[in-house]
Structure 1
Amino acid sequence: MTVNQRKDEHIIEAIGRCRIIIRNGAVVEVGESQIRDCPLAKRFAFPIPDIKKESVKANIEHRIKAFGMCTPDREVLDNREFVGFGASEILSFALHAGLIDAVVLACDGAGTIVVTKPALVQGIGGRMSGLVSTSPYPSVMDRIEANGGFVLDRENATLDQVAGVALAVEKGFRKIAVTVALPENAATLRRIHPATLIFGVHVTGLSAEEAEMLVSASDLVTSCASKTIREIAGRRALMQAGIAIPIFAITKAGKELIIEKIRMSDEPVLVKPTKLPSLSDNQPDPLV
């Protein structure tokens, strides 16, 4: 492997924590998924009806071609809602409504970033799977900054959500939300930045101990294909959005955000007091 190849490598985990390596705009490795079936994957813009290496590879190649994922041509703006209550949909709405004033998230080609525009949250987060590591692309960072965003580390595209929240505070933001995949980072953020709205993401495969740590520190948690999140977050949640791959609101702040999104929407909604979690028969298989 050449030096240039090493500098242009991205590792993501998608569709049941399937580990995927992309180099120089090409998918070079696809690992085994932890699940066999996912209702959300069947609704992707490029659907995955059966979770096999070939179909996962085709989906990622479609993302690369469609919006430049993991390339210098990466598009960063989008206003479309891909799912009703995804993390990016909820957080972009919160920015639009003025409930928060900055979101810390991860972007391929840029690493940890701070953004203030709903279209940046949706354009980046709405089409991004779990990002493990990435390589820096100045062109992607330039597009983010041209739209009011801030990049934590232009040289290395470092992924560090704790440092990202510190950057948001340094820039003068006070109503900050952050997406967090590592439970220990969520716990650290709750301790040193207690007012931050923490959204737990990319949770498939978490142990009971890890799920406990993430839920205890988060305001909102997505469930992905996680059995432990459904059990631990489900029984503590004040509110649940969705029944196949639900989002759990753990705190009043999280609950109020979802309620406000519902209030501002024209979509029909069923509201029913019930014991949580409330799950449909159409879950990822297996839950892990």
Structure 2
Amino acid sequence: MTEHNDEHILEAIGRCRVIIRNGVVTEVGDARITSCPLTRKFAFPLSAIDRESVKANIEHRIHAWGMCTPGREVTDTRPFVGFGASEILSFGLSADMLDAVVLASDGAGTVIATNPALVQGIGGRMSGLVKTVAYPDVIRRIKENGGIVLDEVHASLDQFSGVARAYEMGYTKVAVTVAIPEEASKIRDRFPGAFLFGVHVTGLDRREAELLSSSCDLVTTCASGTIREIAGGKALLQAGDTVPIFAMTRRGKEMILEKIRQSDAPVLVKTPRLPALAGQQPEPLV
């Protein structure tokens, strides 16, 4: 693979644009936020968010588990947060509430996964993926663990086509992570039975937040003020109070409640008006 083609683009912590070429972080843009409680819990914690700390965090991911390299690890069973997208969707597969998950992977593009460890391994440490390239070794490992790679040549990112392919393969309980509000709406219109999880929402304007909230079963909040306001005001359930997950539908609510039911962790249940936010939030909300 030529150096020119070996390029990955992420929108990482605080929607900071990061470019990785040949396993090296070559560009880091400005983040839209300055702090977030979740970043202090990372394997490589960040007390503040700036170009230098984001670069160091991404470099840690590259060296620790091969992100955006041919050595990328693709399976994991460790939860990184209590109610992250990969944690919830991998649980859904384990609990037979889902039978396929469509998600994005560096080194492979859009992937259909039926193995909970593959969902967690790919999604658990992934930032917002904008562009990637196909690595045969990564694709081979994904396939060895039961995954289907939609485009083995160009590693394109196309969640709509991933959902369509999953249904064509005979799966009936299909979930998908989606970051583009228009794509979420398109999937909901064409595949009303699909389970949509809205991710990577920092920076959405009101129209985008309305569209994503009305299309998805579950929505994460990241550092989005519009999602907190719009999705939070309509949600049936909220999980977490610093960077919460909102369940927008009964199916989303049932997924969260079943995960809680099967967990041995202590749980606080309250019935306040939503959103119910703790004092410490990402700063600023954008």
The TM-score normalised by the length of structure 2 is: 0.99
Instruction: After TM superposition, list the pairs within 5 Å mapping 1:8-87 onto structure 2.
Output: 8-87=6-85
1:189 to 167, 187, 209: 187
Distance (Å, rounded) in 1 between the aligned partners of 2:110 and 2:5: 17
Partner secondary structure for residue 172 of structure 2: coil
Distance (Å, rounded) in 2 between the aligned partners of 1:171 and 1:120: 18
Q: Which residue is 1:128 aligned to?
A: 126
Q: Which residue is 2:218 aligned to?
A: 220
Distance (Å, rounded) in 1 between the aligned partners of 2:4 and 2:226: 36
Q: Which amino acid aligns with 2:228?
A: R
Instruction: After TM superposition, list the pairs within 5 Å mapping 1:80-119 onto structure 2.
Output: 80-119=78-117
Deviation at 1:220, TM superposition (A): 0.2
Q: Which residue is 1:153 aligned to?
A: 151
CA root-mean-square deviation: 0.7
Deviation at 1:128, TM superposition (A): 0.2
Aligned residues with identical type, % of pairs: 65
Length, aligned pairs only: 286
Partner secondary structure for residue 4 of structure 1: coil
Distance (Å, rounded) in 1 between the aligned partners of 2:5 and 2:90: 31
Partner secondary structure for residue 79 of structure 2: coil
Q: Does 1:177 align with 2:175?
A: yes
Distance (Å, rounded) in 1 between the aligned partners of 2:25 and 2:173: 38
Per-residue CA distance 1:17-66 (angstroms, 9 max, x = gap): 00000000000000000000010011100011111111110000000000
Partner secondary structure for residue 6 of structure 1: coil
Q: Which amino acid aligns with 1:17?
A: R
1:249 to 244, 247, 250: 247
Q: Which amino acid aligns with 1:239?
A: L
Deviates more, 1:175-184 or 1:163-172: 163-172
Distance (Å, rounded) in 1 between the aligned partners of 2:98 and 2:275: 27
Distance (Å, rounded) in 2 between the aligned partners of 1:38 and 1:6: 34
Q: Which amino acid aligns with 2:253?
A: K
Distance (Å, rounded) in 1 between the aligned partners of 2:144 and 2:230: 41
Deviation at 1:204, TM superposition (A): 0.1
Deviation at 1:154, TM superposition (A): 0.3
Deviation at 1:5, TM superposition (A): 1.8
Distance (Å, rounded) in 2 between the aligned partners of 1:125 and 1:197: 16
What are the ranges of 5 or more consecutive residues in structure 2 without an aligned counterpart? none
What are the ranges of 5 or more consecutive residues in structure 1 without an aligned counterpart? none
